Structure 1
Amino acid sequence: MKRFKNILCVLESEEDCHPILERAITLAETNQAILTIVTVVPHITVDFNLFKDDPDIDLQTIMENEKKEKLDSLVKSFLHKIKIETRTLSGVPFLEIIYDVLRNGHDLVIKMPEIADWLDHLFGSNDMHLLRKCPCPVWLIKPDSPKSYHNILAAVDLDSDDAEQLEASQKALNLQILQMASSLAVNDFSQLHVVHVWDAPAESLMHSPFIKMTKEEIDDYANRVKDQQEEKLNTFLHDAIDSQVGNMLDYLKPNIHLIKGLASQSIPQLAKKIEADIIVMGTVARTGIPGFIMGNTAETILNQIHCSVLAIKPPEFITPVKLEE
């Protein structure tokens, strides 16, 4: 994987947590990184008159201490490999996690998705808040995720705006997506897939009876757009080969998918078709509009997939969450 120095692993349940623990510990060991494992305890809101016979009782502290003991017990068998810090956080889960990232400079958050059988999608409310607002990459690992991934899907977006700064930012984000997906594929001996979804926006308008265009003219337009998109993808991959990703791409020989359609539909469909174990993707819109934290396309994709995800922000992303002074 990309070199990480300060990893935060979040455990919400002691059940089925060993896959994520092993993944976090192996990653920290490989990167010689600091590893912190936390759990978030919600604030207890009860009528303390129930405990009037023992006014000194502090349920919040008791619960936090119990959680800390369980964390220490969980990591005990791994302490011969690496030094691990454990602690409990208290409050709204996604906020406390982001606060911890801001306070301690974590450069990766690893956690399992929220366990909620009633959801028709994998990621719950706290997960989505993290994907929108956490300043560092967020890796959400399914509880039943295989120990080693077989198929990794890197989703890149090559349709940049005209603004030069935004175009440079998007290129940097795409390269980071490809780098992380490639290094994970090398580590896990996985098949890497790279997908770019494109659309010919004027094609549907050309079919209007008010616009007299022949089928050949419409097809010619669509083919020209496809050629432009293919050239964009080839240029991106060529630039990636010239960067630090190059050796990994030569070794991996990724499957390239250039798909016509809507990314919000095509990427989940492709993930299902290739049985992707994880999607590596960006989650922030490229519009630059203040407060527009996640693009609609990314949100729609995340609500449809049922595999793990490694979500990455552009280099200049600033979280709207602020530490209290």
Structure 2
Amino acid sequence: MNLFGNILYVSENAVNQETSIMRAVSLAENNQGNLTVMDVAPVIAADIDLPYGRPISNEVQSAIVSERRKMLEALIEPYKKHLDIRLDVLVGTTFLEVIRAVLRNGHDLLIKPAENPGFIERLFGSDDIQLLRNCPCPVWLTREEEKSKYEHILAAVDFNPDMPDTIEQDLNQQILGLSGSLALSDFASLHAIHVWDAPAEAMLRTWANDSREASATYVEGVRSSHERAYNRLRQQLIERIGKDNSDYLSPEFHMRRGVAATVIPEIAKQLHADLVVMGTVARTGIAGLLIGNTAEAVLEQIQCSVLAIKPPGFVSPVQL
């Protein structure tokens, strides 16, 4: 199955990215797609003086761009015989230029080695966080320990069984379908996780005449409704990837009570997950969205790679 036809890889010079670029090249080859490898050089202020009093010129900025291009050429050198890789070096703010490149060139996947930002960067939004929030295509943030072939993939889905949401349902289908295809491609085990909770339990214990029975009945009712909806998703996955593929994968479906931002990292660690595939909860038309959403919270807590998918109809607040 060809999942991605136009892949953008963004270089992260501060980390070891050998295995990450291998993943991007492998995906492009397997999908018979295009691969662009890109870097963004910072803008050099024109009024900064050099030691001899000569102002920074366009030539100096061009030299920095040229040096970045040489670094990209060295990065892709081992793969040039296998794939025609396009190189691009832009100047500006990294996340803005990356998103504009996605919009301009119609990329359907962004791969980037994850940063290791300091506290201030995390607080105000590193490039990775900004890409998770605002990039319109799926964002695949890889770790330095990236494997050439994954062994365990975890798909995280979320839904409200009492208030079905078409956007949410479509997003879950994308998550499960993509996770299944990647698991088949890498011969990896596939796990799915759904986290639920019963928020009114404490209130029932306070106000009901028979508080224990009332709260137990309520919790079981909530659990059952989530389980039924989850089973429907399981059946839809089988239909999407085919019964033979489903029998081969034998995906395991986990349902845990708790807070998603806590439970997902816990089960990812238990399963030794190499990749967590999940959605962002962004809704169309909301700009500057989702500070502290689940995808961001999970990224902060796990050591494996994350593939974050936007819901259908998402429009990035960043414009060309």
What TM-score, normalized by structure 1, do the two folds share?
Answer: 0.89
Give the gaps of 5 or more residues in structure 2: none
**Structure 1 267/119 Cα, relative in aligned 2: closer, same or farther at 3 Å?**
farther
Q: CA deviation at 1:74?
A: 2.2
Conserved in 1, the CA contact under 8 Å of 2:167 and 2:311? yes
1:255 is displaced (CA, Å) by 1.4
RMSD between superposed Cα atoms in Å: 2.5
Deviation at residue 77 of structure 1 after TM alignment: 2.2
Q: Is contact 1:152–1:277 with CA below 8 Å preserved after alignment?
A: yes
Q: Distance in 1 between matches of 2:52 and 2:243?
A: 64
**Could you tell me how far apart the structure 1 residues matched to 2:142 and 2:11 are?**
11
Residue 306 of structure 1 aligns with which residue?
A: 303
Match of 1:27 in 2: 27
Structure 1 residue aligned with 2:278: 281
Q: Deviations over 1:105-131 (max 9, x none)?
A: 10000010113466898x961100000
Contact 2:140–2:305, Cα closer than 8 Å, also in 1: yes
AA at the equivalent of 1:138: V
Q: Give yes or no for contact 1:206–1:218 (8 Å, CA) kept in 2.
A: yes
Whether contact under 8 Å (1:155, 1:280) holds in the other structure is yes
- Please tell me whether the aligned partners of residues 114 and 124 of structure 1 are also in contact (alpha carbons under 8 angstroms): no
Per the alignment, residue 150 of structure 1 pairs with 151
Q: Trace 1:197-212 onto structure 2 (pairs within 5 A).
A: 197-208=195-206, 210-212=207-209
Compute the displacement of 1:161 (Å). 7.3
Aligned partner letter, 1:195: I
Pick the aligned partner of 1:293 from 289, 295, 298.
Answer: 289
Change in Cα spacing, 1:322 to 1:53, as seen in structure 2 (3 Å) is: closer
Structure 1 residue 51, shift from structure 2 partner: 5.0
Distance 1:272 1:56, change over 3 A: closer
The answer on whether the counterparts of 1:285 and 1:292 sit within 8 Å (CA) in structure 2 is: no
Match of 1:317 among 303, 308, 314: 314
Residues of 2 paired with 1:8 and 1:290: CA distance? 25
2: CA distance, partners of 1:5 / 1:276? 26
From 158, 161, 182, give the equivalent of 1:184: 182
Q: How does 1:209-228 map to 2 (within 5 A)?
A: 210-228=207-225
Picking from 258, 263, 267, the partner of 1:266 is 263
Matched, 1:18 2:15: no
Conserved? CA contact 1:282–1:314, under 8 Å:
yes
Q: 1:259·1:266 contact (CA, 8 Å) conserved in 2?
A: yes
- Give the secondary structure class of the aligned counterpart of 2:176: helix
Q: How far, CA to CA, are the matches of 1:188 and 1:283 in structure 2?
A: 24
* In structure 2, distance between residues paired with 1:129 and 1:160: 30
Match of 2:66 in 1: 65
> TM-score by structure 2 length?
0.90
Tell me which residue corresponds to 1:135: 136
Contact residue 3 and residue 31 of structure 2 kept, 8 A: yes
3-state SS, counterpart of residue 320 of structure 1: coil
Q: 1:56 to 1:195 in 2, by over 3 A?
A: closer
CA change 1:160–1:120 in 2 (3 A) is farther
- C-alpha deviation, 1:15, in angstroms: 5.3
Larger mean Cα displacement after TM superposition, 256-265 or 28-37: 256-265
Q: Is the contact between residue 178 and residue 245 of structure 1 (CA under 8 Å) also seen in structure 2?
A: no
The answer to whether the aligner puts 1:42 opposite 2:39 as a matched pair is no
For the 8 Å contact 2:2–2:30, the answer to whether it is kept is no
Conservation of the 8 A alpha-carbon contact between 1:51 and 1:57:
no
CA contact (8 A) 1:194 1:256 kept: yes
Partner of 1:290, secondary structure, is coil
Alignment coverage as a number of residue pairs: 317
CA distance in structure 1 between the aligned counterparts of 2:56 and 2:17, rounded to whole angstroms? 36
State whether residues 161 and 226 of structure 2, in contact with CA within 8 Å, keep that contact through their aligned partners in structure 1.
Answer: no
User: What secondary structure, in the 3-state scheme, does the structure 2 residue paired with 1:303 have?
Assistant: helix
Work out whether residues 2 and 179 of structure 1, in 8 Å CA contact, stay in contact via their aligned partners in 2: no
C-alpha displacement of 1:297: 3.1
**Which residue type is aligned with residue 144 of structure 1?**
E
How big is each residue's C-alpha offset from its partner over 1:243-268, in whole Å with a ceiling of 9 and x where there is no partner?
Answer: 24654333211111011112122111
Residue aligning to 2:193:
195
Find the residue that maps to 1:194 and give its secondary structure.
Answer: strand
Tell me the distance in 2 between the aligned counterparts of 1:56 and 1:195.
54
* Correspondence for 1:96: 97
Letter of the 2:233 partner, please give it.
F
The letter of the residue matching 1:187 is: S
Distance 1:56 1:318 in 2: 37
